[in-house]
Amino acid sequence: MPPSGNDPRTASLRERWSNLGHYFDLTTRSDRLKLLEERMARADFWSDPEAAQEVIEEANRMRRWVEPWRAVGKRLDDLQELAALAAEEGEGALEEELSAEADVTARELDELEFRSMLGGEDDARNALLTIHPGAGGVDSQDWANMLLRMYFKWMERHGFAFDTLDLETVEEGGIKRATVEVRGENAFGYLKAEKGVHRLVRISPFDQNARRHTSFASVFVYPEVEKDITVEISDGDLRVDTFRASGAGGQHVNKTSSAVRITHLPTGIVVQSQGERSQHRNREAAMKILTSRLYQFYKAEREKSREELESEKKEIAFGSQIRSYVFHPYTLVKDHRTGIETGNVQAVMEGDIDRFIQGYLKQTAGQAIPL
């Protein structure tokens, strides 16, 4: 039982912590974690290695929620005890220390509340991020490449591992498409905020008259399907084509047909990979992309979400963008979904996009979480 104290800020923090625990049923998760830990302590735990691994993975998932919540609860107990002591001392005693501790607790609670927004069914999964240029020709191809670099910078900032599964470059330095596998906790949960059309306004470096151009590129994000999910794919539903990998100006082009394109005939979904020199490895990568896209497709179909089902058919052009990046005649990056903006375009292009991701996640969480 935490000690008594009448500090209103401590009481408010305690209420937020309690609401979070109720909403995510963290008491039940704590009980489940205790049960799993007892099972892991048994002498015969490793008699079935596959089952043991499943228990360990579930326990780790529970810990990611339970341990931070418990830690904030312990800090709140300490804070309430300090508030009670300050009340006994009177005349503003310990006020500075109490305020500093409350600030730290509030920040930890803010972080816990934000993490709670990543509790979706697929949020903890790895992600597949795909970029395609849209209207704007060579400018849009260059813009797609700039976005790819921005995401690489963001991934590096946050310690995500990533591999380029598919990349087709063009002579001028842009790209026709790219698919990147992003590995790390909540990779999909974060990157799903980037799905949509991104618009660029700048003086074109490809225009001899130095006129202002508007370019577009689309970003799609899919959760990577792992062993815990089965997606039925019949060989008879697939058309597999092989071709020679292409590169800018004919550079680094394989002389053998190592690139692979797979068409899923029932849905019309087409994926391809040319990131590896081996046809076998490219087929594996293409199947990984296809499996994730089919998982997302069928999930959207089950949920009868027309917006998700039609997302890939959305025109990559003016009026459909989620975010605009203006380099000229002024500098501004604005997310049209949340209204969040910044004038520091350079920082954004160096991967500083957390404000946009967090803003979107908070908006989509809405009032679902009683904070």
Judge contact between 265 and 239, C-beta under 8 A: yes
Q: Is CATH 3.30.70.1660 what the domain over 127-365 is classified as, yes or no?
A: yes
What is the rounded CA–CA span in Å between residue 241 and residue 346?
41
The pLDDT assigned to 3 comes to 46
What is the rounded CA–CA span in Å between residue 321 and residue 217?
9
The pLDDT assigned to 226 comes to 73
Which residues in the chain come in under a pLDDT of 50? 1-4, 249-253, 306, 308-310, 312-313, 367-371
Judge contact between 247 and 259, C-beta under 8 A: no
CATH class of 8-116: mainly alpha
Distances (CA, A) of 330 to 67, 169, 213, 286, 336: 46, 30, 14, 41, 17
Digit-coded pLDDT (tens) for 86-127? 888 776 667 888 889 999 999 888 888 877 788 787 898 899
The pLDDT assigned to 367 comes to 41
The pLDDT assigned to 363 comes to 86
Q: What ranges do the domains of the chain cover? A: 8-116, 127-365
Give the count of beta carbons closer than 10 Å to the beta carbon of residue 89.
11
Digit-coded pLDDT (tens) for 310-369? 454 455 655 679 999 999 999 999 999 999 999 999 999 999 999 999 899 988 875 444
